[in-house]
Amino acid sequence: MPLPYVLLSAAVSLDGFLDDTGPERLLLSGPADFDRVDAVRASVDAILIGAGTIRADNPRLLVNSAERRAARVAAGRPAYPLKVTVTASGDLDPGAHFWHTGGDKLVCTTDAGAARAARLLGGTADVVALGPALDWRVLLEHLHDVRGVGRLMVEGGGQVHTQLLQQDLADELQLVLAPLLVGDPAAPRLFGPGAYQGGRLRLTDTRRIEDVVLMRYEPTAPGTGPVATPADRHWLRTACELAALCPPSQTAFSVGAVLVAADGTELARGHSREGADPVVHAEEAALAKTDPADPRLPGATVYSSLEPCARRASRPAPCAELILRAGVRRVVTAWREPDTFVAAADGTGVLTGAGARVVVLPELESLAKAPNAHLLA
Ligand SMILES: NC(=O)c1ccc[n+]([C@@H]2O[C@H](COP(=O)([O-])OP(=O)(O)OC[C@H]3O[C@@H](n4cnc5c(N)ncnc54)[C@H](OP(=O)(O)O)[C@@H]3O)[C@@H](O)[C@H]2O)c1
């Protein structure tokens, strides 16, 4: 099921706190960064915060710039993004600014919290019960399918950010580091304890804004199951882009592949016909660059723009077989192999028959096909 692009946005002190414990909200950023946040808000379909942030900060969450609101309206969008909050208790102050400013409001809650929230708010917001407990994936599917949300900005607080990152549901983190220290262990932290991806996130941008620094990160660790994560989509897109590097051919597909360890470390990449080998396949080229004894291979994922081949004339072993021999047990691909060169090729069947998992992301199929258009006409 497609989900919205989820952008986590936060500002923290040098010692990692979102706020102090005083009655007023701690201002971590300055005017230029607040204006940047305003631009990000103007770019999204919805903004989400936890009920704890409504209680602590009483925020309005507006697009403050009239020009940005006008541009949204000119583009056929509402002037303000949908405002969303999550609560289990349903304990929401009906007098909070959140309900009386901006555009549409939505409360996502549990079956038990819904009655209380609806009674307290009395029609100022839509209240939706998403089951006995709130499942973030169900919430995101609801926002995408029912509310038409393609891009979601999450503005805290720590409980919400922690869950979305730990559950592999965040596409991006926009983090501002402010030059002050809080030093109070009772203050809220951006990320709480728990299981996060093992390795390093990808730093995609840094920018000085007055005296704060904006850092943008993306998760890198592959998913572990049948459901694609944001990192899976990133790596598969990279594989599709590698396919564009292939020397053109009338007799073979252009394919790209990336091999990624469970902690998000890239182990190798390859593309069809790379180097001096006119028949090498992308997955084969990537695997050839790894040490077969590398203990990370059994936990790794192969990303291939085209399903790994099941049969081939040019070499004794097809790529599905090479992947299995390497011990890799998860493959993510964008495009099932058509009958163009091999009838009824079923690399997925070879892989799954041997116990590997294959995840197909049809949303990237057109990108995978692009360098092969001359073969598909
Ligand atoms: N510096 C920044 O960028 C920034 C941004 C935002 C917030 N903050 C700060 O962060 C602090 C608040 O953070 P916080 O971690 O305490 O609160 P929070 O994450 O904003 O909200 C937590 C609340 O959200 C609801 N919730 C969270 N997960 C849920 C789930 N899985 N199911 C159902 N409901 C769920 C619960 O509401 P109920 O209790 O109603 O059930 C929970 O108490 C404040 O001090 C605020 O100033 C800072």
Q: Nearest C-alpha to atom 5 of ligand 1 is from which residue?
A: 156
Three-state DSSP class for residue 42? helix
167: amino acid identity, one letter: Q
Return the best residue to mutate from 20, 57, 86, 173 for the ligand 1 pocket (most ligand atoms within 8 A of CB): 86
Q: Is the CB of 236 under 6 A from ligand 1?
A: no
| Percent of residues, the chain, with pLDDT higher than 70 | 100
Q: Is the CB of 199 under 6 A from ligand 1?
A: no
Distance CA 125, CA 101 (A): 11
Q: How far is the CA of 36 from the centre of ligand 1 (A)?
A: 22
318: CATH: 3.40.140.10
Residue 67 has φ and ψ, to the nearest 5°, of -65, -45
Does 23 or 306 have the greater pLDDT score?
A: 306
Three-state DSSP class for residue 333? strand
Q: Is the CB of 86 under 6 A from ligand 1?
A: yes
Distance CA 241, CA 303 (A): 12
Q: Are 26 and 189 in contact (CB under 8 A)?
A: no
Q: Nearest C-alpha to atom 31 of ligand 1 is from which residue?
A: 134
Residue 239 has φ and ψ, to the nearest 5°, of -60, -40
Would you say residue 377 has pLDDT above 80?
A: no
| Axis-axis angle for helices 31-43, 66-74 (nearest 10) | 10
Q: What is the pLDDT of residues 193-229, one digit of tens each?
A: 999 998 999 999 999 999 999 999 999 999 998 999 9
Q: Nearest C-alpha to atom 46 of ligand 1 is from which residue?
A: 53
Q: What integer pLDDT is reported at residue 343 of this predicted model?
A: 84
Is the dihedral angle over the CA atoms 89, 93, 97, 103 positive or is it negative? positive
Q: Is the CB of 222 under 6 A from ligand 1?
A: no
- Atom index in ligand 1 nearest the CA of residue 176 equals 3
Q: How far is the CA of 53 from the centre of ligand 1 (A)?
A: 5
Three-state DSSP class for residue 293? coil
Q: What integer pLDDT is reported at residue 366 of this predicted model?
A: 96
Q: Are 238 and 303 in contact (CB under 8 A)?
A: yes
Confidence of residue 341 (pLDDT cuts 50, 70, 90): confident
Q: What integer pLDDT is reported at residue 312 of this predicted model?
A: 87
Q: How far is the CA of 162 from the centre of ligand 1 (A)?
A: 10
Are residues 113 and 85 located together in one domain of the fold? yes
Would you say residue 71 has pLDDT above 80?
A: yes
Q: Provide the domain limits for residue 325.
A: 230-376
Which DSSP state fits 289? T
Find all residues with CB under 8 Å of 131, minimum gap 6, and list them.
Answer: 110, 111, 138
Q: What integer pLDDT is reported at residue 37 of this predicted model?
A: 98
Q: What integer pLDDT is reported at residue 339 of this predicted model?
A: 86
Are residues 110 and 29 located together in one domain of the fold? yes
Which of 180, 198, 218 represents a domain boundary (last residue)? 218
H helices present in 58-110, as ranges: 66-74, 97-100
Segment 258-270 mean pLDDT: 98
Residue 282 included in any domain: yes
- Structure token digits, residue 293: 């004894």
Residue 345 included in any domain: yes
Q: What integer pLDDT is reported at residue 313 of this predicted model?
A: 82
Q: What is the pLDDT of residues 100-114, one digit of tens each?
A: 999 999 999 999 999
Would you say residue 246 has pLDDT above 80?
A: yes
In angstroms, the Cα distances linking 1 to 39, 108, 138, 308 are 28, 19, 10, 24
The structural domain count of the chain equals 2
Would you say residue 253 has pLDDT above 90?
A: yes
Are residues 243 and 151 located together in one domain of the fold? no
Segment 19-46 mean pLDDT: 96
Q: Nearest C-alpha to atom 43 of ligand 1 is from which residue?
A: 52
Are residues 240 and 135 located together in one domain of the fold? no
Q: What integer pLDDT is reported at residue 315 of this predicted model?
A: 86
Q: What integer pLDDT is reported at residue 344 of this predicted model?
A: 85
Are residues 292 and 349 located together in one domain of the fold? yes
Q: What is the pLDDT of residues 343-376, one digit of tens each?
A: 888 999 999 999 999 999 999 999 999 999 999 8
Distance CA 186, CA 165 (A): 22
Find all residues with CB under 8 Å of 347, minimum gap 6, and list them.
Answer: 307, 308, 309, 310, 318, 319, 320, 337
Return the best residue to mutate from 87, 110, 120, 140 for the ligand 1 pocket (most ligand atoms within 8 A of CB): 87
Share the mean pLDDT of the chain. Answer: 96
Q: What integer pLDDT is reported at residue 268 of this predicted model?
A: 98
Q: Is the CB of 56 under 6 A from ligand 1?
A: yes
Distance CA 43, CA 4 (A): 13
Confidence of residue 30 (pLDDT cuts 50, 70, 90): very high
Cβ neighbours, 10 Å, residue 374: 10
Are residues 203 and 55 located together in one domain of the fold? yes
| Residue showing tokens 């998913």 | 223
